Amino acid sequence: MIRVLSVTPEAVPLVKTGGLADVAGALPAALAAHEIEMRLLMPGYPAVMQALSDEAETVARLPDCFGGSARLLAARHDRLSLLVVDAPHLFDRGAGLYASDSGKDWPDNPERFAALSWVASEIASGLLQDWRPDIVHGHDWQAGLAPYYIAQSEAAGRVRSVLTIHNIAFQGLAPASKLGALHLRKADFTPEGFEYWGQISALKAGLIYADRLTTVSPSYAEELTTPEFGMGLDGVLRQRAAALCGILNGIDRRVWSPETDPHIRPYKTPRGKAANKDALQQEFGLPMADGPLCAVISRLTDQKGLDLLLDAMPALLERDGQLVVLGTGEAALEGAFRRAAEKHANIAVHIGYDEPLSHRIMAGADAILVPSRFEPCGLTQLYGLRYGALPLVALTGGLADTVIPATPATLARVPVATGVQFHPVSAQALANALGKLCDLYARPKLWLKLQRNAMAHPVGWDQSAAAYAALYRDMLNPS
Ligand code: ADP
Ligand code: GLC
């Protein structure tokens, strides 16, 4: 049995702002089959503290934890074995995980997640008498300092560390004046260490000090080493290329299976989607239409390329296609989609975050659109495959690795395609791709075959859990 401490700022079903939460929440169960015991170390946000039952047990006290005292709690929740940092001065506050109601990042975010990372290193050093990890597996910048603290601790050399990059756009920068507050050595505040253009970078610390690095798709692993996608850290990643690999995300089939989904009219074959499509059109007040019903379920940010979709929409509307958008994010994008919905009967928009609705949309939509400028993995195209909502995606990152694009070759005799891809990521290329989608949709037999292909495509955790297990084994016994 290999013991792994997963250090994560979010996990389903407790707290989620993006796909990282799905992945962190699904991995422990997926890995159990590989003789890996994974416990999650998480911040004690109000939502986490409330979810813990009376059975939560105090397993350690941390009197001096980044500006206040803290407790470490152990609890089980759903299928998760949790260790929770109960530090009210850092985590007991309302609203978002990372920002206040007004959307401004909490000014002490560096301390909050340094604390999480430091507790990980304490656990690696033997804080808990009965459980010590063989490997500490951190996620994103929030756990970036864990490999650094471990390297400075008595666990150095004994406990291995791996950091997964879910999104390099978030780097956890802090001013140099916080060196002391974050318990960082001035000697390591160098370009070879965690210094990044005069600031402290928690993510860079992880990239430099972790034994291994992973990201969430093979294509993104390659992209990360290029200036176009590395967001200033491509040099570091080129230097550590031998330690970096890409392992695709899977989806949690307990939650995302059209056969058993409690939020929809369950179905086993693509034909079962019709009732869900009717219901979705009714729910959103959309008319019947000749073209495909396309969906977006997404954070509304620059990354996701949805401004391009606004520009490309005529290509869908002129074929009597429809669009349903579920999302929240930048005010400008929210406003633009709201206005588009007011103008066109074939566009409907729900601004907000709504998990059950996201299931109903997947079940009812003919296609899911993911025109991202970059996408480390992406989960909604995987849900789309599983639910027979054909993905139309940009040729980038994990989108490139998970969708088999419709081309003359993949449509020949026995079609193997599962969706549509476009490149470059521009409004024109997206408009062309929407036209192609409409052409395919106008051939019902072919469309049905593509839906069958999509629904049969493996998107669960089996292969990827095996890849993580192999990585852990290799870290402990290098071949
Ligand atoms: P990212 O992590 O970059 O946001 P992913 O595709 O990996 O992108 O994961 C996004 C996750 O968040 C998916 O599970 C998706 O269904 C969900 N999601 C995004 N926006 C919403 C929303 N408005 N309502 C419900 N679920 C959403
Ligand atoms: C990030 C990425 C997304 C990925 C998710 C989970 O938020 O933007 O592509 O699927 O992490 O790894």
- For residue range 233-270, list pLDDT tens digits in order: 999 999 999 999 999 999 999 999 999 999 999 999 99
> Do 322 and 202 lie in a common domain?
no
Average of pLDDT values for 370-391? 98
Question: Which residues does ligand 1 sit against, CB inside 6 Å?
Answer: 18-19, 22, 297-299, 326-328, 353-355, 358, 377-380
User: Residue 306: is its pLDDT beyond 80?
Assistant: yes
> Do 203 and 84 lie in a common domain?
yes
> Do 313 and 428 lie in a common domain?
yes
Closest CA to 16 of 45, 56, 50: 45
DSSP 251-286: --TTTS-TTT-TTS---SSGGGHHHHHHHHHHHHTP
> Do 471 and 449 lie in a common domain?
no
Is residue 27 within 6 Å of ligand 2 at its C-beta? no
Q: What is the mean pLDDT of the chain?
A: 97
Is 164 part of a structural domain of the chain? yes
Judge contact between 202 and 140, C-beta under 8 A: no
**Protein residue with its CA nearest to atom 5 in ligand 2:** 19
Task: Report the residue count for the chain.
Answer: 479
pLDDT given at position 478: 77
Q: How are beta strands 135-139 and 2-7 bridged, if at all?
A: parallel
**Protein residue with its CA nearest to atom 20 in ligand 1:** 298
What are the pLDDT digits (tens) for 335-359? Answer: 999 999 999 999 999 999 999 999 9
pTM, rounded to two decimals: 0.96
> Do 451 and 468 lie in a common domain?
no
> Do 444 and 468 lie in a common domain?
no
> Do 421 and 466 lie in a common domain?
no
> Do 20 and 122 lie in a common domain?
yes
pLDDT band, residue 479 (cuts 50/70/90): confident
Is 257 part of a structural domain of the chain? no
Is 10 part of a structural domain of the chain? yes
pLDDT given at position 33: 94
> Do 180 and 291 lie in a common domain?
no
**Protein residue with its CA nearest to atom 4 in ligand 1:** 18
Is 263 part of a structural domain of the chain? no
Is 70 part of a structural domain of the chain? yes
Question: Cα of 296 to ligand 1 centre, how many Å?
Answer: 10
> Do 246 and 206 lie in a common domain?
yes
Is 186 part of a structural domain of the chain? yes
Question: Which ligand approaches the C-alpha of residue 27 most closely?
Answer: 2
Domain that holds residue 421: 270-456
> Do 168 and 115 lie in a common domain?
yes
What are the pLDDT digits (tens) for 223-237? Answer: 999 999 999 999 999
Judge contact between 57 and 67, C-beta under 8 A: no
**Protein residue with its CA nearest to atom 10 in ligand 2:** 378
Q: Considering its fold, how many domains does the chain have in total? A: 2
Is 265 part of a structural domain of the chain? no
Question: Cα of 369 to ligand 2 centre, how many Å?
Answer: 16
E-state strands within 44-143: 57-62, 70-77, 80-86, 135-139
Ligand 2 atom with the smallest distance to the CA of 169 is 8
> Do 358 and 388 lie in a common domain?
yes
Ligand 1 atom with the smallest distance to the CA of 326 is 23
CATH number at residue 350: 3.40.50.2000
Judge contact between 315 and 432, C-beta under 8 A: yes
Three-state DSSP class for residue 61: strand
Is 264 part of a structural domain of the chain? no
What are the pLDDT digits (tens) for 267-288? Answer: 999 999 999 999 999 999 999 9
User: Residue 72: is its pLDDT beyond 80?
Assistant: yes
